[in-house]
Chain A
Amino acid sequence: MTIKKDAIRYAAGLARISLTRQEEELFAEQLNHILAYMEQLNKLDTENIEPMSRAGSTGNILREDMVKSPLSNDDALKNAPEKEEGFFRVPKIIE
């Protein structure tokens, strides 16, 4: 399977990353190299194998429904690049 520049653009779009033309070309070449290596997986028959998506599995870990003290508004917003009157501010969204 080879990855085309379109696919790089599509994935970068989904991931909300702007790429320069050079980056697009470089990544396409490097990812092709990597994906070609990963082709090895297709040699393996995994028909009846269960996927393993977690490394540990130790029963149900649940939390009591008890209120914990929240962050103060100041602490919540302390790191915000843009804020106003207790809100996080983002470029205007048109719905």
Chain B
Amino acid sequence: MSHYLTTIGLEIHLRLLTKTKAFCGCSNCFGGEPNTFVCPVCLGFPGSLPVLNSQYLRYAIKVALALSSNVSGMMKFDRKNYFYPDLPKNYQISQYDMPLSLGGYVDIISDNKPKRIAITRVHMEEDAGKLVHNKRALSSYVDFNRTGTPLLEIVSEPDISSPEEAYRYLIAIKSIIEYLDVSDCNMEEGSLRCDANISIRPKSQKELGVKVELKNMNSFKGVRDALIYEEKRQAKALSADEPIAQQTRLWNEEKQVSEPMRTKEEAHDYRYFPDPDLPTVSIDATLIEEISSELPEMPEQKKERFIRDCGLSKYDASVLVSDKVMACFFECCIKLYPKPKMIVNWLTGDILKYLNANNIEFNSVKTTPQRLISMFELMDNKTISGKMAKEVLHEMLATGDSADDIVKKKGLLQISDKSVIEKLADDIINENPKVADDYLSGKTNALGFLVGQLMKKSKGRADPQLANSAIKKGLGKKRP
């Protein structure tokens, strides 16, 4: 990408975890039998009217404040008019020119440097229903359970200059939202959705290139992959002097390519106008103060505290706070075992490696802070070696068993009995007379080989320090 500059903007749709839908008392549930969480209001039956859910407003304000966005004193709802079968009224209640909040930002690390991504606006809108397509059937099927569930749309400025930055921005947003407990941010389940706008232009060119909209990404990784693919595709086109069409493209996860949308795109004319069924909403300073005071410690603040109070590196602290559950796990650990650096090394090292390799979220980790600390204590009292500990941890993460049980079950107790080890050392020396002779004739690196053989014979259970001295002692006996 050396000749081109990339410009990316993201639109995130976040489903908020209120008990009921945005404008009616239907349960805000996921899934269920089709058309069972519905009422005249969310079905858009004639004569029905929307009434705003107070908790939806509170959650929305919470998110806006956490993103440092300026909450408006007065907001209104507008109708976005378009026909689609998943939209029962054939308009969506959204916000147009007086949204919930304007401005805001998220800080990320890009190329090891901090970067601030500006947010344009945060607005409230209702979700649409779901269409079910059956390849063989001649019809499509509509389920309105999701219709009217409360969404927040977070629109970024086109400040993002690489797919990796887009990925980090998403992670940062997710970690902020998770701290607020207002959404589960699960992209695979659709509670967080992300569309991207991307354009590239030659470095020498001032004005932005042709914008392409990307949709249908189902994971954070998918967003990054789609942007990488699109960046390359556009660069190739530009290099070959081919024009780039302004269009919407769908990410095909299976084929790992973006494809233009098949349906003919109409010029959008949404005919936004103020929804006469919903009065304007005034948000006074008292309410904003009340909600601000309820905000928990945010990742950025937590990170600062970890660096200051636990002496963690900036990098380690960032990794920890990027996942609310992991940060909480860490805080539980340091209360039990005051060695923060050791804890963070294991957390961000072996534990994360295991979880990532097995595609497990931290909140489904099978072990507990208490159990991890028990394992540390087994290391401290030499019951297990550091090397064995890695094996034990792996087992703990796989089964959820305690370190004690695993050690006992697998017979992994460290051999610290001097006489047992010395017996083993004598055996090894006798089995390798040539190596022993080499050592005695001055080739000191032969010692390592013999210790290694001993460890192998003990299946790694021998205390390494004892093994070392036992070999030396045994060889000493051979010295003429």
Q: Do chains A and B touch in the complex (CB under 8 A)?
A: yes
Q: Which residues of A contact B (CB under 8 A)?
A: 14, 16, 53-54, 56-68, 70-73, 76-77, 82, 84-95
Q: Which residues of B contact A (CB under 8 A)?
A: 18-20, 23-27, 33-40, 43, 51-57, 81, 83, 85, 131-133, 137-144, 250, 261-263, 269, 271, 273-274, 276, 279-282
A92 touches B138 (CB 8 A): yes
With a cutoff of 8 Å between Cβ atoms, the chain B residues found around residue A82 in the complex are 139
B263 touches A94 (CB 8 A): yes
With a cutoff of 8 Å between Cβ atoms, the chain B residues found around residue A65 in the complex are 18-20, 53-56
A59 touches B19 (CB 8 A): no
A86 touches B33 (CB 8 A): yes
A93 touches B56 (CB 8 A): no
B interface majority secondary structure: loop
Q: Bound state CA distance, A58 and B282, in angstroms?
A: 11
Give the nearest-CB partner of B25 in chain A: A68
With a cutoff of 8 Å between Cβ atoms, the chain A residues found around residue B24 in the complex are 68
With a cutoff of 8 Å between Cβ atoms, the chain B residues found around residue A14 in the complex are 81, 269, 271
Give the nearest-CB partner of B132 in chain A: A87
With a cutoff of 8 Å between Cβ atoms, the chain B residues found around residue A89 in the complex are 139-142
B143 touches A87 (CB 8 A): yes
A interface majority secondary structure: loop
Q: Bound state CA distance, A58 and B131, in angstroms?
A: 38
Q: Provide a sorted-by-A list of 16 A–B residue pairs whose CB atoms are within 8 angstroms.
A: A14-B81, A14-B271, A62-B54, A63-B53, A66-B25, A67-B20, A68-B24, A70-B26, A70-B36, A70-B38, A82-B139, A86-B36, A87-B143, A92-B138, A94-B262, A95-B262
B140 touches A93 (CB 8 A): yes
B141 touches A67 (CB 8 A): no
Q: Which 10 A-B pairs have the closest CB atoms?
A: A68-B25, A65-B55, A87-B141, A62-B54, A53-B274, A88-B142, A86-B34, A63-B51, A93-B140, A90-B85
B51 touches A68 (CB 8 A): no
A59 touches B132 (CB 8 A): no
B139 touches A91 (CB 8 A): yes
| Given A57-B280, A73-B34, A95-B263: A68 in contact with B39 (beta carbons within 8 A) | yes
